[in-house]
Structures are given as C-alpha cells and as structure tokens.
Structure 1
C-alpha cells in the first residue's frame, strides 16, 4: 500500500540531519560546542540534527567549516535542496499566481514518455478545457489566498497540454466517476469539458479509464497523483505538492495505479458514464 506521500521528504531531511550529526561526531564536538563555534543559539544544532529545523545553505557551510569538513558542504547543500523540493506548499509555488507554475513544468512534460495519472477530485490537468481550468484556478486562488491569474494560468495549462498531440508520448489516465459529476464552473463549462473528454479519449496515445461508483473496491480512493515515466511521482495534497523520487515509493504508486486501473471501465463503457454525466446537467 502507498505510504504517506510526505514520508520521502521527511526521510530525506532526516538523512541529511544524520549526516550532519556524523560530521560533528567525527570532529569530536558536542552539539553545544558546535553551536558556540558557529555563533548560534545553543539549541540550534540540536534542532538541525533532529530534523526539526531545516538548515539553510549557509548553515550547512558553517557546520562543515566548524567541523573541518568543507569538502562535504557542496554535496550536502545539493541534497538539502533536493529534500526541500520534495514537499512544497502551494502558497509558495503560487505566491505570484498559477501561470508561472504551469509554465515551469513544460520541460518535464516534454521529456516524459509515459504519463500515468489518477484523479479523484477534478478532471486531469492534461485533459482540461480552458473554461474548466479557468474556473478551477479561480477556486484555487480563493482557497489558497494567492493572486488570481486564473485566465492566464488556464491558457498556460492548455498550452502545456498540447504535448498530448505531439511526439511519442503515451497517456494512461484514470478518474473516479464522481469527478465527472463534480460541478466546476457552470453547466456550459461542464458540458464542454465532458464533451472534450469524449473527443480526446479517441486519440491513439490516450487511454482514459473511469472507475464506476458501483465498482467493488480492491483499492480505496487516493489523493491525485501523476507518475512521470518510472522516475518520479507528484502527489497533490490540499496544502502542498509532494515530489517523490525514491524508487521504492515510485513503484508503490505504480502498483496502486495498476490496481486502480483494474477497477476502471474503458471505451464504450467509459463513454456511457461520461454521456450520462452530460445528460445529468
């Protein structure tokens, strides 16, 4: 079963803290001695070693300098930055709005060959119409208290999603049937969005499965996640984006995707569920 999506980020922070602790011990220093030589409050070294306070780049350099381990500073800083990027709050990512975030992911989308996407709350971003995305980004900005650039962000998302129509990419997407019924925007927006699903699922590179309400669950609903090749997973929480690269955890999400896919219907049956959702509008 997939473990907590923030676990790899915390594990990475704890690993860095452990390496810093080993460097201090190898130098024959106590935590108090290190803090004194660094000019820090006495408790700072303890907070860093116990992964309660993430160190800054300068903290790492100072730690290594005090311990006579300057040669390890660059590697530790790189690892620390990687851990910091694993769990990033949406407010930080969207502090100037959502458009830049959409644009920043274009290189990842263009380099990925196989996309596996599971959505339990909204239509997958790769399949969103501009009207639907605009309505969704407006909701997000209100909920997060971030600048509302919903129209610009939606245009950037649609531009990014053109990857579906070019190159040798493959897309396997799963949605819960409830996603087809959740009203984002007005009825016209939803009708256009659901109609677009019927169009795009006919593309040879796209596999769209719908997990029916009536499916006998062998896998419970999960948070929305995307698997990029077999290299990384992005999990979307309410407050943060979690980026997972640990091979074992990536494999767990891949297995969860396979299990969820076995619950889904495809082709004619999926079209019938989408058409039923349109009729319900």
Structure 2
C-alpha cells in the first residue's frame, strides 16, 4: 500500500495525472468502480467534468490547466467502446441528486447515463438512498485483480496486496447486490432529472 499526496503528483496541474490514468485504463481488462459522491470520471460529460475538475484545481491551489485536463478526461472515455474491456460501475443515488455546476448540467449528465446503459461493455447500477448500510466504503476503483485505489482529501491510496484487493472486491460485490439496474435504474435517473428540471 502506498499514499501519493495530490500536491506532489499534481504539482504541475491535473493533466499529467489524467494522462497516466488513461494509460492504465487502456491496459486494464476489467474496471470496477464505486462512487458514492460524484459521477465516475469515465461517465462524465464535458461540462460536468469541467465543474468537478475546476473545483479540484481551486481547492488544491495548483496550476490551472483546466482545458487540458478536461480534454484528457474526455479522451479517456474512448476505452468504453474498445473490445476486450469490461466495466462494472456503481454509484450512490446521491450522486444524481447533488448539483454539480448547474441543474442544466445535471440534466444533461443524467441523460448521458441513460445513453451509456446501452453499451454492452458496461454494467451500471445505482445504490438507492434507502438501501441498508452494509459496507462502509468511500469511492474506489479496482483494476483487474492487480490494484485498487481510493481518493482521500490529501491524496490517493494505492492498494496492491492480495488481501487489500480482495477486501475491495468483496465490498464491491456487497454494494452491487444492493444496487438497482436497467429499468429500475432508469426510473431513479428519471426521478432525479425531474427534480433538477423543477429547480
């Protein structure tokens, strides 16, 4: 396990980190991601990504390379259409309810989610707000069975020992078992869209 502080890895901006993630994702066959707070990076629209990454730059007080980092994040999404890759994405319902940027940005982001659900490489689930608390877990990503990573306020935690990866995988399966999919997920998305449209 290792800890990589943001102020070291992102001292010259966020784009270099996004480029390294792009390379890692290209080499990974199975990506499992759980995100309870914000939209998963690979699923973000450009305006949503711009709002999220702009906030990160402001908080960290680092070089503003927003245009470059957003463009790189958008390039990462090409992997979603490449053969030989599988994606299992889980988000908490709260991700759809909180406002990132504007309500218009959220409506477009949620419509994008529905479009992505037609991708045969993607399994997408939503853990409802009223689901029982069964797994204490901040957001994390598992790359194949070789590495797991989680973001903290000050940096990224990288886990590469077998027991640590297995714990993340077990936690993911618990959350996946609580999630709703397909038509049930679409109904939750449509409810969130209606709420944003009404504001």
Higher strand content, 1 or 2: 2
CA distance in 1, matches of 2:172, 2:13: 31
CA distance in 2, matches of 1:196, 1:236: 24
1:111 aligns to 2:111 (yes or no): no
Report the secondary structure of 2:148's partner residue. Answer: strand
CA distance in 1, matches of 2:64, 2:191: 33
* TM-score, length of structure 1 as denominator length: 0.68
CA distance in 2, matches of 1:280, 1:163: 31
- 1:90-169 superposed matches below 5 A: 90-169=6-85
CA distance in 2, matches of 1:145, 1:198: 35
Report the secondary structure of 1:262's partner residue. Answer: helix
1:273 aligns to 2:188 (yes or no): yes
Higher helix content, 1 or 2: 1
Deviations 1:45-101 (A, max 9, x none): xxxxxxxxxxxxxxxxxxxxxxxxxxxxxxxxxxxxxxxxx2111111211111111
- 1:95-244 superposed matches below 5 A: 95-220=11-136, 222-244=137-159
Say which of 233, 258, 261 aligns to 2:176: 261
CA distance in 2, matches of 1:246, 1:277: 38
CA distance in 1, matches of 2:124, 2:63: 33
Task: Specify the structure having the higher radius of gyration (Cα).
Answer: 1
CA distance in 1, matches of 2:127, 2:164: 23
Over the residues paired in the alignment, what is the CA RMSD in angstroms?
1.0
> C-alpha displacement at 1:188, in angstroms?
1.7
CA distance in 2, matches of 1:253, 1:191: 31
Q: Which has the higher contact order (CA 8 A, sep 6+)?
A: 2
CA distance in 2, matches of 1:276, 1:239: 34
CA distance in 1, matches of 2:144, 2:132: 29
Deviations 1:81-131 (A, max 9, x none): xxxxx2111111211111111112222111100000000111000101111
Report the secondary structure of 1:151's partner residue. Answer: helix
* TM-score, length of structure 2 as denominator length: 0.95
CA distance in 2, matches of 1:93, 1:161: 22
Q: How many residue pairs are counted as aligned between the two chains?
A: 196
